[in-house]
Amino acid sequence: MPNHLQRKINWGIALILAAFAILALAYSVAFPIYEAPDEDSHYRYVRHLADGKGFPIMDAANPGLLAQEAGQPPLYYILAAALTGWVQDGGGERILAENPHSTIGRPLLPGNKNRFIHAADETWPWRGLAAGVHAARLFSILLGLGTVFLTFLLAQTLFSSQPALALASAALVAFTPQFIFLSAAVSNDNLIILLSTLSLYLLVRVAGDGFRRSWLAAILIGIVLGLAALTKLGGLTLLALAGFAYLMQAWRTRRWRRNLLQLGLAFLVALLVAGWWYARNWLVYGDPTGLATFLAIVGPRAQALTLASLPSELQGLRISLLALFGWFNIIWPGWVYRLFDAFLLAASVGLLLRLGRLMRRGISARTLLHRHRAFLLLPAWILLSLLALLRWVTLTPAAQGRLLFPAIAAIATMLMTGWAGLWPRQRVWLAFPPAAFLALALLSLPIVILPGFHKPDLIPVSNAPITSSDDAILFDDRLLLLGVEGSPEPVRAGDNVDITLYWQALQPVPYNATQFIKALDRNGEAISQINSYNGWGTFPTSLWPSDTVIVDKYRLPIPEDVDAPTLLSIDVGLYDYDTDDGYSSRRLDGRAAPDSVMSLRVLPRQGQTKAPDHPLAFDFAGQIRLLGYDIDRQEVNPGKDINLKLYWQGDELIAEDYQVFVHLLDQEGQRVIGFDGAPRGGRWPTNAWEPGQVVEDVRPLPIPADLSPGLYTLAVGLYRLDTFERLSATGATEQIADRAVWLTQVEVRP
């Protein structure tokens, strides 16, 4: 290869490694400590060894803080303890308070992305526990760098004449957001990914006759296999890959004895490196893997894995292969994953096209296998990893993308090989997938990651929008709700309403109060509710300073099936999560706290209003029009109901709360029965109406069982509640009498 081309390749991989390192460091800073899956237990394992306590032991009856991670093979933790044990974390045993409202595993729910409560002592400059965790994270990032570089070497070995493909494969690994996130966390996954990629690289070289000293190579491979088995139980799957590689080499060369002996040597070395750990497990747990105790702590599947449940498992796997952050609760919108699906499909098609082009050249299957024998190890390793994951998922619910990352180098190389197969003569297209992944990784920080852990803004008390101190509500004589802001405009059913609360702590608060925000209907029933520590879980009351105001913003969903239009009331309060007891509340002047802090107008969804079956055109006092009505029957037996729906429309904003009357009149025009009240049973009074809005007002009219048979007239109108004065009606004069509109006649039958 010319020197100038080699320099370009060297610069290319150096830039990829540098970009990965910067991204991983940025992710490490963006995520608070312990906000990656099981990072708390992984770090405690590291500190357990660093503090000289020996190997931990799992106890299903008393899992402790290390839980099931105490049963993990120790290599990652030994190395992390050796490299970071010098950090005086001063808090290896410190337990962070948990957020009981955390949305673990439920990414579609808003807020509460943090599993733990994070105080100011975790910010830069790091000290104590935060310093220890970030030091261990730096070790994980170094392992991630090694994986990216080994991916480059692997692809370069397979495609020595296509350096751009090797660079693109390494870049795809480096810029996969989920891989970056995992590499920035304390987790033994990072070491098993590195060792798996190294094993694959060495075995590819064996299959491609890349080692002149094959016996020495077998020893080296055995060491790596042993180290992998000392890192995670999944490392044992590499033994099968090694067996496949050597058996394929024996079949190709017909040197069965030599290759089988080399395979046996590799297995023997692996046993010498890792066997002591599995012997120790046998003595401690009566099981070389300790898996029974591990599963007893994690918990088995609630339901057996079936073909019907497999799609949902694959859905989680697909998402967490690309970008599912935090404790599986920070996610991109669905279209991002659909684009990922399109890329996977396109790359698969490209692989088939590439295979088809080879077969059209008249190459026999044996020759094809011979020439591409090393490449076959990639799909073989992916298949073995999938089978191992499938087996694991049958034992416990854990269809997580990171469990396939030991094969990430193989996956990325095959995907880029397939993508290149779509554009065989246009290498510039190779840059598109890595560039898209890089953009996604960069945008993940400001768009989905940082907002998940953003704490509320703090403002001076003088800047808080308080209309009157008399309206402030004091909870537990120490927490002051200064004011509430919400949109004065109505929302529609199925939409969200933005609500901002202004809080102040009058003195330090020794507890974390749970805040509730409820949307209540006319009967006081909650139709929507948020329960959370303040700041969507990020800023509970124990962290509040007493000299500032907390600007706490929420988005309350209004159900699609709410009986709109309606007037809701918003209630806010505090309670103890453990006891469910509410904290006392009052106004500052001693008066009782209000039942609600604001009202909310909710309109139906667009397109829900229909035209009346019986159109009308009547006007009441120039403010309200009666557009028509529906009636389900005009012949009725005593004791039955008539259902009447009136269609109203306000021409302007209405200041008063008018009442609707529906009367059944006899032949002399005398009221026989009738029902009065605010529109929609009081749920939508006239002073809440929007100009031009059509209001459907359903009025059930029970017919008394003793009502005499005959013809009766339905009359409707509006009146003022304070004076009982009816609003004047204009329209077809023959239908108006006594400021009421005579709608239709009803026959009561015997």
Q: Is 479 exposed, middle or buried (0-12, 13-18, 19+ CB in 10 A)?
A: buried
Q: What is the pLDDT of residues 166-176, one digit of tens each?
A: 999 999 999 99
Q: What is the pLDDT of residues 631-667, one digit of tens each?
A: 998 999 998 889 999 999 998 889 999 999 999 999 8
Q: Indicate if 239 and 291 belong to the same structural domain.
A: yes
Phi, psi of 646 (to 5 degrees): -105, 145
Q: pLDDT-derived band of residue 6, with 50, 70 and 90 as boundaries?
A: confident
Q: pLDDT-derived band of residue 251, with 50, 70 and 90 as boundaries?
A: confident
Residue 198 to residues 62, 183, 192, Cα–Cα distance (Å)? 37, 16, 10
pLDDT of residue 681: 87
Q: Indicate if 589 and 628 belong to the same structural domain.
A: no
Q: pLDDT-derived band of residue 363, with 50, 70 and 90 as boundaries?
A: low
Q: pLDDT-derived band of residue 347, with 50, 70 and 90 as boundaries?
A: very high
Q: What is the pLDDT of residues 281-295, one digit of tens each?
A: 999 999 999 998 998
97 belongs to a structural domain: no
Q: Three-state DSSP class for 1?
A: coil
pLDDT of residue 147 exceeding 90: yes
Q: Indicate if 382 and 525 belong to the same structural domain.
A: no
Average pLDDT, the chain: 91
Q: What percent of the chain has pLDDT over 90?
A: 69
pLDDT of residue 86: 84
Q: Look up the pTM and report it.
A: 0.88
Half-sphere exposure of 446 (CA within 13 A, CB side): 3
Domain end point (choices 422, 450, 478): 450
421 vs 117 pLDDT, higher one: 117
Q: pLDDT-derived band of residue 467, with 50, 70 and 90 as boundaries?
A: low
pLDDT of residue 573: 96
Domain end point (choices 573, 603, 633): 603
69 belongs to a structural domain: no
Please enumerate in sequence order all residues whose Cβ is within 8 A of that of 221, keeping only pairs 6 or more positions apart, or say none. Answer: 199, 202, 203, 206, 242, 266, 269
55 belongs to a structural domain: no
pLDDT of residue 366: 57
513 belongs to a structural domain: yes
Q: Which domain does 498 fall in, by range?
A: 457-603
Q: Which of 132-141, 153-162, 273-282, 351-360 has the lowest mean pLDDT?
A: 351-360
pLDDT of residue 629 exceeding 70: yes
549 membership: H or E segment, kind and range: strand 549-557
71 belongs to a structural domain: no
Q: Indicate if 446 and 374 belong to the same structural domain.
A: yes
444 belongs to a structural domain: yes
112 belongs to a structural domain: no
pLDDT of residue 469: 61
CATH number of the domain where residue 685 is located: 2.60.40.770
Q: Indicate if 548 and 588 belong to the same structural domain.
A: yes
What average pLDDT does the segment 669-692 reach? 90
| Amino acid, res. 626 | L
Q: What is the pLDDT of residues 71-96, one digit of tens each?
A: 999 999 999 999 988 887 765 557 89
Q: Indicate if 362 and 388 belong to the same structural domain.
A: yes
- CA angle, residues 51, 56, 59, in degrees to nearest 5: 140
Domain end point (choices 553, 580, 603): 603
Q: What is the pLDDT of residues 178-202, one digit of tens each?
A: 999 999 999 999 999 999 999 999 9
Q: pLDDT-derived band of residue 368, with 50, 70 and 90 as boundaries?
A: low
Q: Indicate if 279 and 427 belong to the same structural domain.
A: yes
CATH number of the domain where residue 504 is located: 2.70.50.60
pLDDT of residue 340: 96
DSSP-assigned states of every residue in 434-497: HHHHHHHHHHHIIIIIHHHTPPPEEE-GGGS--S-GGG-EEETTTEEEEEEEE-SS-EETT-EE
Q: Indicate if 518 and 389 belong to the same structural domain.
A: no
Q: Indicate if 592 and 565 belong to the same structural domain.
A: yes
Q: Three-state DSSP class for 717?
A: strand
658 belongs to a structural domain: yes
pLDDT of residue 120: 87
Q: Indicate if 496 and 511 belong to the same structural domain.
A: yes
Q: How many domains does the chain have?
A: 3
What average pLDDT does the segment 409-418 reach? 96
Q: Indicate if 371 and 247 belong to the same structural domain.
A: yes
pLDDT of residue 414: 96
Q: Indicate if 619 and 726 belong to the same structural domain.
A: yes
Could you give the CA distance from residue 391 to residue 400 in angstroms, rounded to a whole number? 13
